[in-house]
Structure 1
Amino acid sequence: MDWQHVEHGFGPLWNNNSRVLFLGTMASPKSREAGFFYMHPRNRFWPIMEALFADMDDPADRVGTTADERRQFALRHGIALWDTVESCDILGASDSSIRNVVPSDLGPMIRGSRIRHIYPTGAKAAQLYKRYCHPILESEGLGDIPATPLPSTSPAYASKTLDDLIGMFRERMDPEDLSASRD
């Protein structure tokens, strides 16, 4: 496998009603191909979002399988999505190989929305957020937004079941953020 320089390829998802920001590292090859977040079929991000945010009494309130259905679900529930890295050098989809980082600018999203909490998903996303993104936010006067690391939803993090991950997200997330779509 050779090093590849990758550009993110698609922009963040958010609107002025977004309240929570989930941050990955860099979109995977499958996600870049689909032009949307967490599109690898074995990534567990979307099943977790459905378990945490969907109104289970409303059969129409589901994440779906297409990028458009997932986009609508996220926005309906106050969820913003972006990655810590705008471009980098990487080996395949290996987050641990990321180098030569150009960080994403989170400022416009924060200023243009109601985001009150940032949740990096995975240890590498948390590390990159702390090293690159948070200092930029601090320099823009936006450094007081809490950031709580969450576990990776990647199929590479197979030691945890889907139920384990749902429980870990629920335990670590602010209860007010879990009701973001209901206020």
Structure 2
Amino acid sequence: MAESSHVLHEIHPVFNTDSRILILGSFPSVKSRESQFFYGHPRNRFWNLIATLTDEPLPVGTEEKKSLLLAHHIAVWDVIASCDIEGSSDSSIRNVVPNDLTEILQTASIRQIFTNGGTADRLYKKYCFPQTQQKAICLPSTSPANAAWSKERLLTKWNQICPYLE
């Protein structure tokens, strides 16, 4: 079993004044922390889903990923600013310090908040909802740990973001 350590979230949120939806994960995986950008694990389906839903080519590299998000009015960040975690295991998360979503919500015209997976949703409800008073829609996790969900099955749920992007 991996040893738990207190880890600080060091990836800046992606958003601008045109962002209409905010997608919140729980906390960056080890691979995301290494690459210094969201959804960095090669088997995470996030980028593939977003490219498919926006009818864009799969982005390569951080700048292409940021451009894809901003071109389609998507803001991305995580619920947690720091926590104790074992590797990338959401189930090991303890001693949560939540991110302050105020800057994003005051800068952008966020029409809907979505959470990427059950852990992000549970933590959003516990730590962020009391501040934001904005309900989030929970989408199934794009993590490779959520292997029960195929890309096709994920698309049937993740397509809920599309009406907010038009």
TM-score by length of 2: 0.95
* Residue 164 (structure 2) pairs with residue 169 (structure 1): no
SS at match of 1:17: coil
After superposition, the Cα gap between the structure-2 partners of 1:94 and 1:129, relative to the gap in structure 1 and judged at 3 Å, is same
Contact preservation (8 Å) 2:11, 2:38:
no
1:34 to partner: Cα distance: 1.1
1:174 to partner: Cα distance: 5.4
Runs of 4+ in 1 over 3 A off after TM superposition: none
Larger radius of gyration between Structure 1 and Structure 2: 1
* Residue 13 (structure 2) pairs with residue 24 (structure 1): no
* Equivalent runs, 1:82-161 vs 2, <5 Å: 82-137=77-132, 143=133, 145-161=134-150
**What corresponds to 1:71 in structure 2?**
66
1:175 to partner: Cα distance: 4.8
* Residue 7 (structure 2) pairs with residue 6 (structure 1): yes
1:63 to partner: Cα distance: 3.6
Q: What is the CA–CA distance in structure 1 between the aligned matches of 2:116 and 2:106, rounded to whole Å?
A: 22
1:51 to partner: Cα distance: 1.4
After superposition, the Cα gap between the structure-2 partners of 1:160 and 1:119, relative to the gap in structure 1 and judged at 3 Å, is same
The amino acid across from 1:45 in the alignment is: F
- Runs of 5+ unmatched residues, structure 1: 55-60, 138-142
Contact preservation (8 Å) 2:23, 2:75:
yes
Q: What is the CA–CA distance in structure 1 between the aligned matches of 2:138 and 2:97, rounded to whole Å?
A: 21
1:146 to partner: Cα distance: 3.5
RMSD of aligned alpha carbons = 1.2
Q: What is the CA–CA distance in structure 1 between the aligned matches of 2:113 and 2:162, rounded to whole Å?
A: 14
Contact preservation (8 Å) 2:69, 2:75:
yes
SS at match of 1:149: strand
Contact preservation (8 Å) 1:44, 1:155:
yes
TM-score by length of 1: 0.87
Please give the per-residue CA displacement for 1:13-50, whole angstroms capped at 9, x wherever unaligned: 10000000000000111111111110110000011101
Q: What is the CA–CA distance in structure 1 between the aligned matches of 2:162 and 2:156, rounded to whole Å?
A: 13
Q: What is the CA–CA distance in structure 2 between the aligned matches of 1:165 and 1:174, rounded to whole Å?
A: 12
* Equivalent runs, 1:40-59 vs 2, <5 Å: 40-54=41-55
The amino acid across from 1:151 in the alignment is: P
Between Structure 1 and Structure 2, the one with more strand by share is 2
The amino acid across from 1:96 in the alignment is: S
Q: What is the CA–CA distance in structure 2 between the aligned matches of 1:81 and 1:146, rounded to whole Å?
A: 16
